[in-house]
Chain A
Amino acid sequence: MSVRIYIPRDAASIAVGAEEVLAALTAALEQRGVQAEIVRNGSRGLFWLEPMIEVATPRGRVAYGPVSAKDVEGLLDAGFLDGANHKLCLGVADEIPWLKRQTRLTFARCGVTDPLSLDDYRAHGGLKGIEKAIALGPEATVEEVIQSGLRGRGGAGFPTGIKLRTVAQTPVPQKYIVCNADEGDSGTFADRMILEGDPFVLIEGMAIAGIATGATKGYIYIRSEYPHGIAAFEAAVKTARKSGLLGSHVADSAYSFDIEVRVGAGVYVCGEETSLLESIEGKRGEVRAKPPLPAHQGLFGKPTAINNVLSLATLPVILAEGAQHYKNFGMGRSRGTMPIQLAGNIKHGGLYETAFGVTLGELVDEIGGGTASGRPVRAVQVGGPLGAYFPRALFDTPFDYEAFAARDGLIGHGGVVVFDDTVNMAKQVRFAMEFCAIESCGKCTPCRIGSTRGVETIDRIVRGENHAANLEVLEDLCNTMKFGSLCALGGFTPYPVMSALTHFPEDFGTPPRLQAAE
């Protein structure tokens, strides 16, 4: 029996040398005359340890990392193939505390299986969800999703089951499922990990949504910045078609469902759902006014359930284990687990899936281990470029939609970006406005013009020109954008801006004036 070795194919692992490790290991094994099966798994999400390679042993899979090509000979000499000790040895992968403390529901298989093997997917509990959905039928499937309490993981947090029900109850022959894989928020990579590391769970989830709503066609819109994700997902779709998971008799049922992959073209606002639909239709990605809701008139004017990758990839586990199982995790109206992404200047960055309720402080200080630079944590941006900057003083905020909203923030898609004490918040605020200006779809004035005025005003504040007056102008501008924009790009850019002004006034040459004024 040959030995089995795992080397991740995740883009982040590749970005730090996985291909070089693979080449070195393949050459060394050949030279030593060792037969080995090399599996390209997804990443387990412990990115500071990537490339993290594993070897199957009777004790379980033993992990090593971060491995570089030059470590390979030493590892083999030390007995890596038997899971022997070495300075890079992390022990049995499943027992690594950072992994063991998580509750992996959506990410149960990511990093464990061969992402492109449907057999492996099935062997690890895959396809149980769709079998259940087929047995339950559309109405009960929708009900199960509603009962689970799952809310959209793309940012807005709208109940997924309600959206599915709206589409299901619109009686027209052609409806669509659209998967939003535009993942534009900096600090987020969970969608990418699913595309690359467990694409079948997303295919299964989209097919379940199809059964639930009566939609027979799905589109997935993947950002062009994810070439590895696109390739992996396309390969998985082909396999799914060949094996009958997609097609005219989904998993041997009477339901029909197929998926078409579309690739974005480098525009952040195309992650906004109506802009994304315009883009799939081949138009400029200009945001549509609502109503009509996409659930009533979406893609090509037809009822459309548009959902984030994580929302759809969570349907299989909800169906397989039951709504109650999922709902039992979490707090308040935030049910289940959230794949939180710890990013930026953080010591232990990666994918941490856990029940809602964990505090920001636990995430950053304990789980994340503080900054990578070793300097004190000063600010944390949660929820992407439209999310607020939190100071340490708010580290008791639990990860929960309502708790973050109550503190003028948002959890968005679950990205947490850590900054150390060298951060200049005026610069961050300028960037927030600049980004809004670059990415504005141009449809409404507060966003299109306001963002550019915002950049200019911040520059004046930083130069100390009419300081107090310009701070007021900036606040006014934020209010205009917040209340006068059609979508959340213009509407939420004030979050990072106002949070920085409120919590870090000293970076704007101001004593805590704003706090006093509130």
Chain B
Amino acid sequence: MREYEPWSESRAAEVVAAHNVGEGAALPILHALQETFGCVPEAAVPMVAHALNLSRAEVYGVVTFYHDFRREPAGKHVLKLCRAEACQSCGCDDLVEHAERRLGVKLGQTSADGRVTLEAVYCLGLCATAPSAILDGRVVGRLDKTRLDVLLTEAQA
């Protein structure tokens, strides 16, 4: 689990300035904002636009193009299950279903108590120890229902 900072314009300005180095700094800045606040807050978009001499629409277009960037913070924990072919060959679809049922959500949603966001990921490069998952940055391989249940319990606790 990660603790994020509450929104603060001055803090955001600091982050933008710190990562506005070199050419084409949009992605590094957006990553840094998300690292700080848990998402790319709406209010940060004009700041990024100003810093990079772009229009708001352009920055907005960038934020929405990339699957990684969130516009709202995720739940306390983020569990990503790999849904790509190598994991499919080892039964990941059943695991996705199992997780969805236990959390009462679909992929891409956050459980009602706000504790767990369940997402799909397309390949973690752990394809010889499939199926794989990543819980808050911790990689897990050779996943089965038992191991998944342990992860879910940990995330829900």
Interface residues of chain A, those whose CB is within 8 Å of chain B, are 11-12, 14-16, 47-48, 50, 183-189, 191-192, 224-229, 260, 262-268, 279-286, 300, 341-346, 349-350, 372, 381, 384-385, 415, 417-420, 423, 428, 431, 435, 439
Q: Is the CB of A186 within 8 A of B68?
A: no
Q: Which residue, A192, A225, A300, has most C-beta atoms of chain B within 10 A?
A: A225
CB neighbours (8 Å) of B28 from chain A are: 262-263
The CA-CA distance from A265 to B121 in the complex, in Å, is 12
**Could you tell me the dominant secondary structure of chain B's interface residues?**
loop
Given contacts A188-B127, A343-B127, A344-B86, contact A267 B67 (CB under 8 A): yes
B68:A349 contact, CB within 8 angstroms: no
Q: List 8 tightest A-B contacts by C-beta distance, closest first.
A: A282-B26, A349-B128, A186-B84, A15-B141, A265-B66, A343-B127, A344-B89, A47-B128
Q: Does B61 contact A (CB under 8 A)?
A: yes
Q: Which residues of B contact A (CB under 8 A)?
A: 22-28, 30-31, 52, 58, 61-62, 65-69, 84-90, 121-130, 132, 134, 137, 139-142
Smallest beta-carbon distance A277→chain B, Å: 9
A263: B residues at CB distance < 8 A: 27-28, 31
Once A16-B129, A344-B89 are accepted as A-B contacts, the answer to whether A280 and B67 lie under 8 Å apart by CB is: no
Whole-angstrom CA separation of A16 from B141 in the bound complex: 5
Residue of A whose beta carbon sits closest to that of B29: A282
Which residues of chain A are near B25, meaning CB under 8 Å?
Answer: 282
A-B contact list, 28 entries, CB within 8 Å: A12-B129, A12-B141, A15-B129, A15-B132, A47-B129, A186-B85, A187-B85, A188-B123, A189-B127, A225-B134, A226-B125, A227-B137, A229-B125, A262-B27, A265-B31, A265-B69, A266-B66, A266-B68, A282-B26, A300-B23, A341-B127, A343-B128, A343-B130, A384-B85, A385-B85, A417-B127, A419-B89, A420-B89
Q: In the complex, which residues of chain A have a beta carbon less than 8 angstroms from the beta carbon of B125?
A: 11-12, 183, 188-189, 191-192, 225-226, 229
B contact residues around A381 at 8 Å (CB):
85
Q: How far is the CA of A311 from the CA of B56 in the complex (A)?
A: 38
- Chain B residues, Cβ within 8 Å of A186: 84-87, 122-123, 127
Q: State in angstroms the CA–CA spacing of A260 and B27 once bound together.
A: 13
Contacts of A350 in B (CB 8 A): 128
Chain A residues whose C-beta falls within 8 Å of the C-beta of B68 in the assembled complex: 224, 264-267
A330 shortest CB reach to chain B, Å? 24
CA distance A283 to B57 in the complex (A): 12
Task: Tell me the bound Cα distance from A401 to B27 in angstroms.
Answer: 35
Q: Do B52 and A344 have beta carbons less than 8 Å apart?
A: no
Contacting pair B69 A189 (CB below 8 A): no
Which residues from A are CB-within-8-Å of B31?
224, 263, 265
Assess whether A417 is in contact with B85, with CB atoms less than 8 Å apart. Answer: yes
A226 to B137, CA, bound (A): 10
Query: Are the C-beta atoms of B65 and A281 separated by less than 8 Å?
Result: no
A419 to B89, CA, bound (A): 5
Are B122 and A184 in touch, CB under 8 angstroms?
A: yes
Q: Within the assembled complex, what's the spacing in Å between the Cα atoms of A15 and B137?
A: 11
How far is B134's CA from A385's CA once the two chains are assembled, in angstroms?
21
Smallest CB separation, B124 vs chain A (Å):
5
